Structure 1
Amino acid sequence: IAMDRESPVLDSMNYAWAGFGAAFGPVILLSLFMRSMTAQGPISGMLAGAITVVVWSNLVGGILDLYEIVPGFAVSLICVLAVSLRWSERRKEVLGQFDEARALS
């Protein structure tokens, strides 16, 4: 079934991985390197990435035939950065844990 290019299973798996990658990829990467990320940033990024994948998969033609994870990842990344920088409420205990983890690496 997986070897058949016309199988709907392959399309479903591509769609699922695009959704997971766009929603969680930027959040995971930025949580490792961005000290100033707030709780609102990842939530907005996950929602924006997932919604972008759903909308983009229904668009056709030209540049819109691009695999959904690419625009979804970009939109999610921008949302996490913008929202985290907009809301400056950062808890001291979370920043302390981030600094401890950074010191271990």
Structure 2
Amino acid sequence: MKIKLKRAYEAPVREDGKRILVERLWPRGVTKGEAALDDWFKEIAPSPQLRKWYGHEPARWPEFQKRYRAELEANKDEVARLHSICKNGTVTFVYAAKDEERNSAAVLKAFLESI
């Protein structure tokens, strides 16, 4: 399984493989053509309540990871569907967060690689 992470504001390249948006909301200022997505997994993204609670506050990062993993464990169908796609070649999770280390796509990647 080869999963890459890339901000929605970075240009797509062939090496991205299958590009999947893993955000509940569409990234601001990005057109569908610019995003060049193959799929959009809205329902696998953190819940609106969790996203708002986290607010990209670094101090909340450890608890955010724990809560988001719990949401993923409860979302078995979408996790299984995405995991199946990831086993078939290179996949790039496209996300909108500014923080390239502490974001939901990073948690999702680690979660899928652990199962």
Same fold (TM over 0.5): no
Name the TM-score, length of structure 2 as normaliser. 0.30
Name the TM-score, length of structure 1 as normaliser. 0.32
Which one has the bigger strand percentage?
Answer: 2
* Structure with larger RCO (C-alpha < 8 A, sep 6+): 2
Which one has the bigger helix percentage?
Answer: 1
